[in-house]
Amino acid sequence: MIPTSDLFDQTVMTALLDNDPVVQEYRTFFSLLDWPVVDHWQAQRSTRGRPAHPESAYLKAFLIRIHRKFIYASELRHFLMTHPLLILELGFRLVLDPTAAYGFNIEKTLPSRFWFSQKLRHLDQDLLQSLLHATVTALQAEIPGLAVCRREQSRTHVMCEMSTPVLAVHNTNTLCASS
């Protein structure tokens, strides 16, 4: 959703999104992942009560946290607050405010530092594993022999080995990426 603001109309907002280097960097990165797995998982969950932020928005934010090497949720939140166009790209539910520069209240839209931490602690490991597994499987279909993905029986763990990076999901609620 692209909000309307008193300062920027939707055409300008779209142009800003399309030309922001930080948005473009993460748009390119996120396009490599198989997000329909997350959409399917989200559709299976209850929709009672106040609408929550999409799970994909949190997952993308946590991937940014890893990429930027942020240790604390407060660092992630501060980074997102200084990049409001990235908040739009991640898909957080916006608290609209047409008087705000970007058409939404940044402070009220973003989860608190505490809630980011809680969400990470209680992140569904099966969902994250499914996302990475589906992504690697799709890559293997496109480029045979590119990657090997295995599940270890001894613990909740998926390791995807590629020619350059290694992505792993551990049962400690962390996503590891190394090259």
Least confident of 3-12, 31-40, 108-117: 3-12
Local structure of 111: helix, strand or coil: coil
User: 127-150, pLDDT tens digit by residue?
Assistant: 888 888 888 887 777 877 664 545
User: Residue 179: what pLDDT?
Assistant: 38
Q: Which is higher by pLDDT, 43 or 164?
A: 43
pTM: 0.75
Task: Give the percent of the chain with pLDDT over 70.
Answer: 77
**Nearest of 90, 83, 70, 74 to residue 29 by alpha carbon:** 90
Return the bridge partners of 160, or none: 149, 167
Residues 6+ apart with CB under 8 A from 59: 38, 123, 127, 128, 131
Alpha-carbon gap, residue 28 to 37, rounded angstroms: 18
Q: Is the pLDDT of residue 76 over 70?
A: yes
Residue 157: pLDDT band with limits 50, 70, 90: very low
User: Residue 1: what pLDDT?
Assistant: 64
CB distance 128 to 169 below 8 Å: yes
Mean pLDDT of the chain: 80
User: 77-129, pLDDT tens digit by residue?
Assistant: 999 999 999 999 999 999 999 888 898 999 999 999 999 999 999 888 888 88
User: Residue 13: what pLDDT?
Assistant: 85
